[in-house]
């Protein structure tokens, strides 16, 4: 069997010895639709505590599943994934339970299903000026607000736009890291804060290497003193400030 990534789907409503087999099958069908790439999903066990199906994903398709789960959190996933999320929440409400998907590697909850508690949780929408950082993946479009795709922590983020002038400048930094400043719309739900859209007012190109790494390397040379490293740090900061003014 090829290398696999593993996820756990915690269902609080039942324990393995009280979960009806047909109901477990219903949940498995919906979670398969929700995660997509059905041929790459494998049920390899049921952990105890609550009922916890353990799902292995062929490693070549794991990034697709991770992106799909992120898009569900943001409300921009394909219709079949969002429909499966809604169906799972409806089932959990009927079973008076909640659920969540977590990674086996670090037990991080990546998607929560409020189920029976759904009526207690209201989403909050906030419009706020902010800053995001990521790698430019694509710039283009015919509209006045030009769409941009950004990659952050390995995930593709849509919903970013800019003026044509800024888009033209951003096109020079394709597949390079940037810091974007602008007005964003954010949704807070049971799954945390998620970016809905972001209009870019200005940006700064970033080095692939962090400033701290750069200064640490400077300090690695015997000929560079702490005072010289501090001076270099100051000059780098001033240079970035000059770049920000240009954009």
pLDDT single digits (tens) 160-211: 999 999 999 999 999 999 999 999 998 877 777 788 889 999 999 998 655 4
pLDDT grade for 234, boundaries at 50, 70 and 90: low
Burial of 166 from C-beta contacts in 10 A (0-12 / 13-18 / 19+): buried
CA–CA gap between residue 231 and residue 235 (Å, rounded): 6
Structurally, the chain folds into a number of domains equal to: 3
pLDDT at position 119 is: 64
236: alpha, beta or left, given left = phi > 0 and alpha = psi -120 to 50?
alpha
pLDDT at position 202 is: 94
Q: Which two tokens stand for residue 126?
A: 């906030």
What percent of the chain clears pLDDT 70, i.e. is strictly above it?
81
Q: Which has the closest alpha carbon to 147: 125, 124, 167? A: 167
The CATH number for 144's domain is 2.40.50.140
pLDDT at position 25 is: 95
Asked whether residue 20 carries a pLDDT value surpassing 90, the answer given is yes
The whole domain housing 233 covers: 211-246
Q: Which residue has the tokens 């983020």?
A: 157
Pairing of strands 146-152, 109-113: unpaired
CA–CA gap between residue 159 and residue 161 (Å, rounded): 7
Helix ranges (H only) for 95-225 are 164-170, 211-220
- The vertex-196 CA angle with 193 and 201, nearest 5°, equals 110
The helix or strand, by DSSP H or E, that contains position 87, with its residue range, turns out to be helix 79-94
Regarding whether 184 and 224 lie in a shared domain, the answer is: no
Where is the domain boundary, 119, 141, 161? Answer: 119
Average pLDDT, the chain: 83
pLDDT grade for 230, boundaries at 50, 70 and 90: low
Regarding whether 130 and 32 lie in a shared domain, the answer is: no
Regarding whether 145 and 40 lie in a shared domain, the answer is: no
CA–CA gap between residue 207 and residue 2 (Å, rounded): 36
Regarding whether 141 and 128 lie in a shared domain, the answer is: yes
CA–CA gap between residue 44 and residue 56 (Å, rounded): 7
Q: Which of 63-72, 87-96, 191-200, 227-236 has the lowest mean pLDDT?
A: 227-236
Q: Which residue has the tokens 């040379």?
A: 221
Regarding whether 72 and 12 lie in a shared domain, the answer is: yes
Asked whether residue 153 carries a pLDDT value surpassing 90, the answer given is no
Regarding whether 133 and 89 lie in a shared domain, the answer is: no
Regarding whether 18 and 111 lie in a shared domain, the answer is: yes
| pTM confidence score | 0.65
CA–CA gap between residue 72 and residue 197 (Å, rounded): 15
Asked whether residue 223 carries a pLDDT value surpassing 50, the answer given is no
DSSP SS3 for 46: strand
pLDDT grade for 228, boundaries at 50, 70 and 90: low
CA–CA gap between residue 157 and residue 67 (Å, rounded): 9
Where is the domain boundary, 119, 136, 158? Answer: 119
The helix or strand, by DSSP H or E, that contains position 178, with its residue range, turns out to be strand 177-189
Regarding whether 17 and 111 lie in a shared domain, the answer is: yes
Where is the domain boundary, 63, 89, 119? Answer: 119
């Amino acid at each position: 069997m090829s290398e696999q990534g593993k996820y756990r789907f915690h269902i609080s409503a039942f324990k393995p010895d009280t979960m009806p087999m047909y109901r477990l099958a219903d949940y498995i069908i919906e979670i398969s639709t929700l995660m997509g790439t059905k041929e790459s999903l494998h049920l390899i066990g049921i952990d105890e505590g609550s009922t916890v199906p353990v799902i292995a994903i062929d490693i070549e398709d794991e990034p697709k599943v991770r992106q799909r789960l992120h898009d569900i959190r943001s409300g921009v996933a394909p219709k079949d994934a969002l429909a499966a999320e809604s169906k799972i929440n409806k089932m959990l409400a009927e079973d008076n339970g909640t659920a969540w998907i977590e990674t086996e590697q670090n037990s991080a909850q990546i998607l929560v299903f409020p189920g029976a508690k759904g009526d207690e949780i209201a989403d909050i929408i906030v419009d706020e000026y902010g800053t995001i950082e990521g790698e430019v993946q694509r710039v283009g479009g015919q509209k006045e607000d030009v769409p941009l795709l950004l990659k952050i922590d390995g995930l593709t983020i849509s919903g970013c736009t800019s003026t044509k002038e800024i888009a033209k400048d951003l096109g020079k930094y394709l597949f390079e890291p940037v810091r974007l400043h602008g007005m964003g719309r954010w949704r807070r739900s049971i799954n945390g804060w998620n970016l809905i859209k972001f209009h870019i007012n200005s940006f700064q190109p970033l080095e692939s290497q962090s400033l701290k790494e750069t200064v640490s390397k400077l300090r690695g040379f015997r000929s560079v003193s702490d005072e010289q490293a501090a001076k270099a740090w100051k000059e780098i900061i001033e240079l970035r400030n000059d770049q920000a003014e240009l954009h």
